[in-house]
Structure 1
């Protein structure tokens, strides 16, 4: 059966089945991992194996967007397992961190599901990569650029979650700051996506530039919220175990990903599709709002 003949309901069935299979394979890695492996190593290997499986299935259905929910599905599963195997750790911090990651994951996955039409729909960025890849095989672009790279970046972001869950320092002032940053980031993403959906749903807004609400202060408030979320998790890690400060490679990696890849692609597309967007770029900053 061709991909275009699959209904939206059956498409989601394929997604759920694929991710259950990936979860099963990842769990097998956890069970079979040598006892000498650190939980970070075990989670990383399981994460890679699950990613390779989703990649293989995305090639079978000829839709790289099968990977899209992986970004938000994997973190709460990894964090949940780390809570189980952590030797010690402050219980209050564990509950707060796991709750925030779960809320973030459910909201972000739900936002993806809301906008995904089914297996016939492929993210426009993937279509662009496929058309401009030159002589590079599509399977290599799909694996490296679309699936493996985000998995690695997200895992870098999760590095600080391990000390946050296993660190012995009691819940303190820095944890309160981390909670505010992380919860605020989730709220910003939710508001930005809600405002964008409402704007896009209005027929009269077709071809217009989104420049109201939080989108009036920053061109990419959803990206700003996503970056702030990972910085918030890093603050939890530092609060629990200051010696793990080096895990800031995670949130820094997020900044690099969005500044070097996601934002330029979105801006370039908007420049091609919306008149006046060049002026909009000069007036509204990409991420951090101006003080005035």
Structure 2
């Protein structure tokens, strides 16, 4: 199947999924909390994407959901929360989220070859689960990321729905952090795409941002979610103790799962990648792991 036809099928699945989510939010039974209404709609959309994934035997149907959901929920909370179109903090949040979503979705579209391809991690997860492969697909590949993104968006809920303080310096700091994170990811993506087009067999990426951090894209992703936490704290300072939980879970996922899996695969395919591990910090430039001896 061509890339265009593949993207068309994925787009149809997303239209159906978000139409169902919107129908729930508009005509479905209300709960006492807007966050719970949104979570139910989120799960409904996720389940429909899962159905499409299984019908096409390809869980990469879910990949773009990570980036298209946040603008949808933020816009819903803004409208349903009644803060009004003149809310400056809401505009700042939407600017950061939309730019992040456009960059991440665009990068996925650019890199996605078509439905003949599936993210290499997904078959591995299903195979490790054995006869419970379908359940692992639903939970590990679809539902857990959905809940993780939702937790990361709770500061946005607080900022857009609850009565909040007026805009302050922390909002502007959040804007700078968010825009900087998006710019970091954009530059890292551009450098990686250029490298992939010109690399020699066995060559590993250690140029530009990738020569200062082995995973600058993940560093930018962490910065984005941290900026959302800052917006939430600015709106509701007394909730500072729990609003960064989503960001901390993102960090745990990247450090505990995503990065180790990526680096193990890189070493298996290109043993010279060990030299990059020895020379380049894992995530934050200038911060290196201590070695014994």
CA distance in 2, matches of 1:9, 1:91: 39
Match status 1:152 vs 2:152: no
Match status 1:83 vs 2:61: no
CA distance in 2, matches of 1:111, 1:183: 17
Retained in 2: the 8 A contact 1:161–1:237?
A: yes
SS in 2 for 1:108: helix
Q: Which residue of 1 is the match for residue 138 of structure 2? A: 143
Match status 1:234 vs 2:246: no
Q: Which residue of 2 is the match for residue 105 of structure 1? A: 101
Once the 2 structures are TM-superposed, how far is the Cα of residue 32 of structure 1 from its aligned partner?
3.4
Q: TM-score normalized by structure 1?
A: 0.93
The superposition leaves residues 33-64 of structure 1 with CA deviations (integer Å, 9 ceiling, x where unpaired) of 43443110010010011101100110001100
CA distance in 2, matches of 1:41, 1:244: 19
The superposition leaves residues 114-141 of structure 1 with CA deviations (integer Å, 9 ceiling, x where unpaired) of 011111110111133234x152422112
Q: Would you say how many aligned residue pairs link Structure 1 and Structure 2? A: 285
2:27 to 19, 25, 32: 32
Q: Which residue of 2 is the match for residue 256 of structure 1? A: 252
The superposition leaves residues 133-187 of structure 1 with CA deviations (integer Å, 9 ceiling, x where unpaired) of 1524221121111111110110010001112223421111111111111110000
Retained in 2: the 8 A contact 1:163–1:244?
A: no
SS in 2 for 1:121: coil
Retained in 2: the 8 A contact 1:160–1:244?
A: no
CA distance in 1, matches of 2:68, 2:287: 35
Q: Which residue of 2 is the match for residue 128 of structure 1? A: 124
Q: 1:284 to 1:17 in 2, by over 3 A?
A: same
Structure 2 gaps, min length 5: 289-293
Q: TM-score normalized by structure 2?
A: 0.93
Q: Which residue of 1 is the match for residue 279 of structure 2? A: 283
Retained in 2: the 8 A contact 1:200–1:206?
A: no
Q: Which residue of 1 is the match for residue 269 of structure 2? A: 273
Retained in 2: the 8 A contact 1:169–1:241?
A: yes
Stretch of structure 1 that moved more, 173-182 or 23-32: 23-32
Retained in 2: the 8 A contact 1:18–1:54?
A: yes
CA distance in 2, matches of 1:228, 1:216: 19
CA distance in 2, matches of 1:206, 1:38: 55
Retained in 1: the 8 A contact 2:31–2:37?
A: no
CA distance in 2, matches of 1:104, 1:147: 21
2:67 to 67, 72, 78: 72
RMSD: 1.6
